[in-house]
Amino acid sequence: MKIEIDLKDFGNFISGLKILSRHVEEINRERAERFKRYTKGNVRKNRVLLKENSPATVKIQGTRHRPLRFSGEMLDNLKCEHKKEASIVRFSNKKIRDGDITYEKLAALQESGFRIPLQGSKGNNVRKFLAAHGIYVKKSKQFLVVPPRPFFKRTIELYLAAEFDKHIIGKFWRKYVSRIK
């Protein structure tokens, strides 16, 4: 969006900003919805270049499974919350299907990566779970390692680089402020 200001029209420009400020809630709503759609699209088309699934995950989930769809379609639980002050894009606080953690926590795990021990009492439970899916891990293997898949951080970077917010604000400027000219 480009704004050319003529000193003579400066007063009109200030009035335009005041008009736009009355539509901030609407602008934020559109920005949030845009970002949500962009995030889902990026992951589904793998524009964020996530690490491929391990052979164990492929065996449990199938070859058509993609990263981040595990445990109840995490992407489908990416929601927008609209308030007067701001619109927030976040993962749901609902618990995942067949699990004890929320989608929000699951998303955080994707950003950070994690390790699950395969030794001790915790490790025995993990080994039983894997064995139930026909996966037998070497006795000497210490950890299941899930590397970070920082899809959210990457999407934010791509979104900012594409300047979508600028286009949205430009659209609202043309819709509401151009009237005063």
Partner 1 sequence: MFQELSNQVWSGTANIFDNTDFSIDGSSKKCIFSAIGQYVDITFDIITLSEYEELSLYLYTTPRLPKENLLTLSIDGNDITLEAMNKNCYFEHILVDCSSMGAVNTIRFISLVSSLTLFIDYIGVRKVSYKNLDISLLQALQDHISLDYGVETTLSSDIAAESKTIDLNSWSYVNNNTELLIDNTEIVRLINKGELSEGVASAYSSGTSVKINLPVCLEDMIDIAPDPMIGICLIDVDTDSYRTIEYSKNISKNKKHLGNAVINIFLESSSKLKLLQLAREYNNVYGSSFVFLHDGECTNMYIESVLFIDDEIGNIPRIVYTYKIQVSPITVSKRYPITDLTLNIKASEV
Q: What is the binding site for partner 1 (CB under 8 A)?
A: 99-101, 105, 108-109, 111-117, 119-120, 122, 125-126, 140-143, 145, 147-148, 150, 153-154, 157
Separation CA 124–CA 75 (nearest Å): 31
Q: How far is the CB of 11 from partner 1 (least distance, A)?
A: 39
Q: How far is the CB of 17 from partner 1 (least distance, A)?
A: 31
| 150 vs 170 by CB, closer to partner 1 | 150
| 56 vs 101 by CB, closer to partner 1 | 101
Q: How far is the CB of 170 from partner 1 (least distance, A)?
A: 24
Phi and psi torsions of 163, nearest 5°: 60, 40
Separation CA 152–CA 139 (nearest Å): 35
Separation CA 20–CA 177 (nearest Å): 7
Separation CA 28–CA 134 (nearest Å): 48
Angstrom distances, CA of residue 94 to CA of 14, 33, 58: 44, 20, 26
| 158 vs 169 by CB, closer to partner 1 | 158
β-bridge partners, 114: 146
Separation CA 73–CA 106 (nearest Å): 11
| 19 vs 126 by CB, closer to partner 1 | 126
Q: How far is the CB of 126 from partner 1 (least distance, A)?
A: 6
